[in-house]
Amino acid sequence: MNHKPIAILSFIFISCKFENSDYQPQNKIADSVKINSVSDIPLPAGFKRVETVKDSFGSWLRNISLKKDKQVYLYNGRLKKNQSAQFAVLDIPVGKKDLQQCADAVIRLRAEYFYSYKRFSEIKFTDNAGTDYLLTDKANRTKFEDYLERVFGWCGSASLEKQLKPVDTISQVLPSDVFIRGGFPGHAMIVMDAAVNNKGEKIFLLAQSYMPAQDIHIVKNPMDSKLSPWYKADDANEIFTPEWKFYKNQLRRW
């Protein structure tokens, strides 16, 4: 989502506008799959996960725990109306306010990664005006959450898109890359994992939050129930997810 200051958030809840709202994913496989972390999600035959650098953001994402409850809850504890989009739910905080929406979820994951390694000085996000938001060194958890609320209020899909670098081709997709469209409406989804086969064909997993603020969840692939939740990194120009459509030139990297 592309935010304004927190005081006027209620007036601009359009930046993660629900797209493809009438489309219902067809995949039913996920309900019977038992997994504990992203790295446990089964691969299609012939694929192996791409190598990641130890302690990198991509490696950290791959090892995030998943909740046993596959239902997606909103920030206020209520169930999200659409429960057909998710494959699994990340065990990551959503907060108690309607702030951690689409781009904010990507920001949360990036910040949590650095926080977990006590690399506080590397936690930095920039708003549309070019103002940097930095976390003070040796921050405690309360200060960290307060910092994220400020970032969620002033940064969003438009500013995050500027902060990230374009990836030349979708075939280069790697864990921690981001599909993003900045603006009103805007949306962002993060690549949680990627795999390749001996033909060089790539597949990847996507995760999102949405509007209202909700649990970050790995989405199903509504266009290929046999491959789901994996997506092909092929020549198709459009990437259809359960609640949004991206184009392959909208892939970005930190």
What is the model's pLDDT at position 138? 78
What value does the mean pLDDT take over residues 156-180?
A: 97
User: For the segment 86-109, what is each residue's pLDDT rounded down to a tens digit?
Assistant: 999 999 999 999 999 999 999 999
Residue 12 has pLDDT above 70, yes or no: no
What is the model's pLDDT at position 16? 57
Phi and psi at residue 238, to the nearest 5°: -115, 140
User: For the segment 139-161, what is each residue's pLDDT rounded down to a tens digit?
Assistant: 899 999 999 999 999 999 999 99
Mean pLDDT, the chain, integer: 89
Outline where DSSP puts E strands in the chain: 47-49, 86-89, 124-126, 132-134, 165-166, 178-181, 187-197, 202-208, 217-219, 231-232, 238-241, 244-247, 251-253
Residue 206 has pLDDT above 80, yes or no: yes
What value does the mean pLDDT take over residues 186-207?
A: 98
Name the CA radius of gyration of the chain, rounded: 17
At 58 the three-state DSSP class reads: helix
Q: H-helix or E-strand containing 60?
A: helix 57-62
Band the pLDDT of 185: cuts 50, 70, 90: confident
Which one is predicted more confidently, 137 or 127?
127
What is the model's pLDDT at position 33? 54
- Judged by average pLDDT, the poorest of 25-34, 40-49, 52-61, 80-89 is 25-34
What is the model's pLDDT at position 184? 81
- CA–CA distance, 70 with 107 (Å, rounded to integer): 22
Band the pLDDT of 5: cuts 50, 70, 90: very low
- CA–CA distance, 173 with 178 (Å, rounded to integer): 9
Under DSSP, the state recorded for 120 is: G
